[in-house]
Amino acid sequence: MTAKFVSLACIRANESGNLSPRPHYPSMPKYPKGAIVSSDEEKFMQGSESTALFSVTGMTCSACAGSVEKAVKRLPGIKDAAVDVLNNRAQVVFYPTFVNEETIRETIEDVGFQASLITEVMDEKSSQMCHIRIKGMTCTSCSTTVESALQDLPGVERAQVALATEEGEVRYDPKILTLDQILKAVEDTGFEAILLSTGEDRCKIHLQIDGVRTESSMRIIQNSLEALPGVEDLNYDSELNKVSLSYQPDLTGPRHFIEIIESTGSGRYKAKIFPGGVSRQSHRDDEIKQYYKSFLWSLVFTIPVFLLSMVFMYIPGVKHVLDTKTVNMLNIGEILRWILSTPVQFIIGRRFYVGAYKALIHGSANMDVLIVLGTNAAYFYSVYSVLRAATSSVFESTDFFETSSMLISFIMLGKYLEVLAKGKTSEAIEKLMDLAPETAILLTLDSEGNVLNEEEIDSRLIQKNDVMKINPGAKVACDGFVIWGQSHVNESMITGESRPVAKRNGDIVIGGTLNTNGALHVKATKVGSESALAQIVRLVESAQMAKAPVQKLADRISKFFVPLVIFLSFSTWFAWFLAGKFNGYPKSWLPSSMDSFQLALQFGISVMVIACPCALGLATPTAVMVGTGVGASQGVLIKGGHALESAHRVNCIVFDKTGTLTVGKPVVVNTKLLKNLVLKELFELVAAAEVNSEHPLAKAIVEHAKKFYQDEENPVWPEARDFESITGHGVKAVVRNKELLVGNKRLMVDHDVAISLDVEEVLAEIEGLAQTGILVSIGREMVAIIAVSDPLKPGAREVISFLKSMKIKSIVVTGDNWGTANAIAKEVGIDTVIAQAKPEDKAEKVKEIQATGNIVAMVGDGINDSPALVAADVGMAIGVGTDIAIEAADIVLMKSNLEDVIIAIDLSRRTFSRIRLNYLWALGYNVLGIPIAAGALFPFSRFRLPPWIAGAAMAASSVSVVCSSLLLKNYRRPKQLNTLAIRGITVE
């Protein structure tokens, strides 16, 4: 299988039901039942595992995939098996000592499908992902430059750079490109690059080792660690005494590493989790401190410059001192302003020079270029003016030192407020990260499951199959299942579901959730970056990295924005200069102590510094960041700007039936006997056949049959011979020497079983009640009809009604029969029904609806919904659905509530409205601000915008756009949904 289906599977219950009440520690692959394997054999097997890829034809739904997977996993020596029904492939990881490819292939064919070995297995690591922090970007021009440089590298499949998060995401081929080359490409564009993570970091730990003094000691430790099974890569940083290890969590873990390190040196060496890190928040905090410090230092020099220029000149005694001449016409005030403004221009403003230089040498222009040109024009004209005064006995100087220093100070204030506000846009991720507890209680159990010891450990040291104790009021330390105890767990921080969920033996728990009232013993199944919490964080981070299509507008504008502003600035200066030179305006217009050149210069500088490309660049990503963060807190995971943009235009929603409109857990509601049979004996025979099937209806029948054996927890069914699963129709088997057929009407017709008019009438009646009729024949004679019902989700009718009020059309598409489909649709208030649709038919129906001009959202939960989820403009996966459906979807509804469909669309509409408002503000600001700065109002009102005020306005525009996006944090779901809650409608 070319794709690895890893996403939010840990949120769902373990469907296999293999929940052991006793702890099972790592380093043990799957062996034949009851096999005794020595440690040497175990290591040999682990080192010789193989992967085989098979082409499997004939599969049509998740039941088919499940039966293949189940049959393969029963074989001895199978470590793992995964079936991709969409691509008709099965990937099997096995130990050749026990089984070979031919045996696996024959097993698949025994299930009823054609299988062939694919010899050219694609390498799963043919491409990798890395995340980089990029420091120094100031506007869209910067992010576009870096993105283009990365995209041009050979081996890069996709590169995205986000200005708002100051991060980059690169998918590349490691055979062609190295991480060092990627980082160098970023640095060559003039920005600092810091590697945050790579595709290999899924299972990686950083340890600090104390006590190592020689290289030979370190080599011994390295050799000891590398000899451990499951250790894939090891790097040692001698300066920090840090060891970084990549490993397979099924085979080993961080506690093993620490134990090996400390035992190697007979107690001389100590190891612990490496402290600190390069989290987004710590980087943001450092950036905020830097700008705050720079702003305070700029004030130290700028306030005196402002007082000397604007205040002291009007105090008679002080004015006299400042006007005292020193050298020719040069006075004390000008010398003081020059001295005070110089540190602001060249020390505090150094970052703008560096940014402008880096941008210009790579052929681009950013905000730093505008700031440097504007402040340099004011500063160096002032230097020229005072030097001329110092060398002349008649020339009186007019300087603009206050312009350059105040300009830089206001920009520093603006950048400080901007990074402060931008930090709040990613608060959702920080809150999610903070959910993981710092410590956990590790239990040591004996072979009977009795607790021998309790130990508090760092939660990052938890390994797979550890047993953790979760006290009342404590957070669950990892994903796993309960092996002892009963309690209620508040999962609202992960799923958004506010009501605590009851947990008992065998139930799944999610790391980061809150245990409320009882102690639990939990066996760890997903730890570290494999956990549901970590995957949600990654999904939200990835969403915030992705660019919305509307952002292309800002990217296109940014290419021409700065050069255009520079052209307008010089044009403004030149026009006013010529007008003054050739008496184009009365001399009375000139302010006192200013000539036409100086007036023109001020207008030119104002135009240059008032234009703000930052606001345009931040308009979309900040809104997307806040919107996706709010969605995550509501239990709606939106995969980026593209999903947001498409969802706000949706006018038609296609709903799958089973598991979407219905609960997805069918139950037997009635049985109609057509022959004189004992009901218990009938269900014993039917269960014997259906227990081999993975279909939800089969499971419902088996569960119902168990009710006749209340004294037995797991009744033993009679042996079923010649079992055959007939896809889409039912099952066939021989039980107690009787040929048994269980399935739909088509199955009976194909096997020449007579269907009387009475049976037809009963079936029609059952389907009219929105139930599914399962026919049972013994010896080609009809004996019973079992009615199975999948109840509607509470509130489904109200949700469909609400969607109508939003002018969104709803359609049902299902593989079920027309009678049941029509009955369900009528019950919820949907007029358009498409029934008996195969997976590929669902996708075709979606495309047909799109062809009529509709923007279509598909809501589904199963593998057979995945083609339609991909085909739709927006795919919405129910959170308890299959991994592949979640992977294929654009939006994941964590709570599986239908009302979250409304929240997803409503939130996308609000977010996109905010993006529009941001663009209106950013573009409108520049369209209005530039003419005013250029002096458009001056001829009529003598109003002119001083450069330092223009600079303050520029800084304020970026802050205002970010603050506008932050208002999305106040999002509340539509009031009508609260009305549903008041009525007592709660969706499970």
Interatomic CA distance for residues 905 and 910, integer angstroms:
9
Cβ atoms of 787 and 670 within 8 Å: the answer is yes
Of 460, 524, 493, the C-alpha closest to 250 is 524
Interatomic CA distance for residues 960 and 966, integer angstroms:
10
Q: End-to-end distance of the chain based on CA atoms, in angstroms?
A: 34
Cβ atoms of 182 and 170 within 8 Å: the answer is yes
Cβ atoms of 662 and 987 within 8 Å: the answer is no
Which sign does the torsion angle of CA 55, 57, 59, 64 carry?
A: negative
Q: How far is CA 468 from its chain centroid?
A: 28
Cβ atoms of 82 and 882 within 8 Å: the answer is no
Q: How far is CA 685 from its chain centroid?
A: 48
Of 790, 785, 794, 742, the C-alpha closest to 765 is 785
- In the beta sheet, which residues pair with residue 235? 244
Backbone torsions φ then ψ of 228, nearest 5 degrees: -65, 140
Backbone torsions φ then ψ of 790, nearest 5 degrees: -110, 100
* 3 state SS for 823-843: HHHHHHCCCEEECCCCHHHHH
Of these residues, 656, 816, 861, 900, which one is catalytic? 656
399 has catalytic annotation: no
Tracing tokens 């088509």 back to the chain, one arrives at 746
Residue 48's CB is within 10 A of a number of other CB atoms, namely 10
Distances (CA, A) of 127 to 212, 714, 966: 37, 46, 36
Cβ atoms of 759 and 651 within 8 Å: the answer is no
- Exposed, middle or buried: residue 777 (CB in 10 Å: 0-12, 13-18, 19+)? buried
Cα torsion for 540, 544, 547, 549, to the nearest 10°? 70
* 3 state SS for 92-155: EEECCCCCCHHHHHHHHHHHCCEEEEECCCCCCCCCEEEEEEEECCCCHHHHHHHHHHHHCCCC
Strands 128-135 and 156-162: unpaired
Distances (CA, A) of 784 to 670, 687, 736: 11, 14, 18
Interatomic CA distance for residues 406 and 382, integer angstroms:
14
Tracing tokens 């939660």 back to the chain, one arrives at 459
- The rounded radius of gyration (Å) of the Cα atoms in the chain is 35
Of 468, 465, 396, the C-alpha closest to 436 is 468
Interatomic CA distance for residues 6 and 748, integer angstroms:
39
- In the beta sheet, which residues pair with residue 787? 670, 773
Per DSSP, 48 falls in state T
> Which helix (H) or strand (E) element contains residue 249?
none
Interatomic CA distance for residues 170 and 133, integer angstroms:
11
Show the tokens assigned to 89.
């492939």
Of 178, 190, 140, 177, the C-alpha closest to 161 is 140
Interatomic CA distance for residues 286 and 630, integer angstroms:
25
Cβ atoms of 344 and 353 within 8 Å: the answer is no
Of 839, 842, 840, the C-alpha closest to 812 is 842
Interatomic CA distance for residues 27 and 41, integer angstroms:
12
Interatomic CA distance for residues 366 and 747, integer angstroms:
70
Active site residue ranges: 656
